[in-house]
Amino acid sequence: MLAENLNNIVTTLVPVLKQFCKGECTIAVGGSHAQQQADSFSDINIYIFTDEVIKNDARSELLSGQIDGVETVISWGDESELSQAGTDFIYNGTQIECWIRSTKCIEDSIKACCEGKVDKDVISWSTKGYYSYGILSDLPMLIPVYDPQNILAHWKADTRNYPDALRENITTQYLSLAESCADNSQYIAAIERSDVMYAIGVVNQAVHSLIQVIFAKNRCYFPGDKRILSNLNRLSCKPEAFEDRVRSLIWPNVDLSQNALEQQRKELLRLVKETKALS
């Protein structure tokens, strides 16, 4: 059930979003709004599943030309054989992110996950990459707004039970990685020479690997990096005080206030800008 204001926005957008697709499609609302965790900073995530879309420029022009209040439209992704694409924009002051995925690719991903296959892609909006089994955590919370073939119901049924093969492979692969990170000569040498950048990178990789293992141990699909500590808090199978210990590992002796995090972000933006300006 969508909130009234969200439902009004979606009702306005769906007729145009359907025109992004050259054939059948399924459209759903996901993200924090679907999970009823949205706050004032949350954007609206709309998922579109289809097998062929019009080109990036055409999607942007279509949206800007047919709906008043649309601005800052950015379309991206595959223009030949669709795997994933997107059209992000602002509608009457609200950020909207439309993620377009190939129906066939989703079905292939579900099959691969049920067989225990594990993979990861490097993507800018995910700090450690997008895991191939990430889609399995998305499916249960998606709220269909256009699904004439009832595809989402079938996908949800297919992934309701956490696959044993996936649990075993995630546990084996990422526990091995965490162990090798935490106990190797290069990491020890970095500590001895006070090589902060290398040491922190190793710790981050090890911690994120352990997080994958914990979600698998709990037979819970990894929901992504955002709000990860909150999501960990609801899991029962984990080391004692895991979240507090993770905070201490990632932020040793550092002020965790909002101001400190904002100052860190500003410095990161400065570094990005200065690095971009290098000849």
User: pLDDT digit string (tens) for 70-100?
Assistant: 999 999 997 778 888 999 999 999 999 999 9
Q: Quote the pTM value.
A: 0.81
Interval 201-220 mean pLDDT? 91
Q: What are the residues whose beta carbons fall under 8 Å from the beta carbon of 273, sequence distance 6 or more?
A: none
4-158 fold: Beta Polymerase; domain 2 (3.30.460)
The two structure tokens encoding residue 167: 């649990």
Residue 1 has pLDDT above 70, yes or no: no
Out of 122-126, 197-201, 221-225, 239-243, which region has the weakest mean confidence (pLDDT)?
A: 122-126
The pLDDT assigned to 268 comes to 64
Q: What residue segments make up the domains of the chain, in order of their start? A: 4-158, 164-275
What digits encode the pLDDT tens for the residues 2-30? 778 888 999 999 999 999 999 999 999 98
- Count of other CB atoms within 10 angstroms of residue 87: 24
Residue 18: closest CA among 44, 57, 54 = 54
Residue 212: exposed, middle, or buried by beta-carbon count in 10 A (0-12, 13-18, 19+)? buried
Residue 270 reports pLDDT greater than 90: no
pLDDT surpasses 80 at 106: yes
Q: Give the chain's mean pLDDT.
A: 88
Q: Which residue has the tokens 């956490």?
A: 162
Q: What is the pLDDT of residue 131?
A: 86
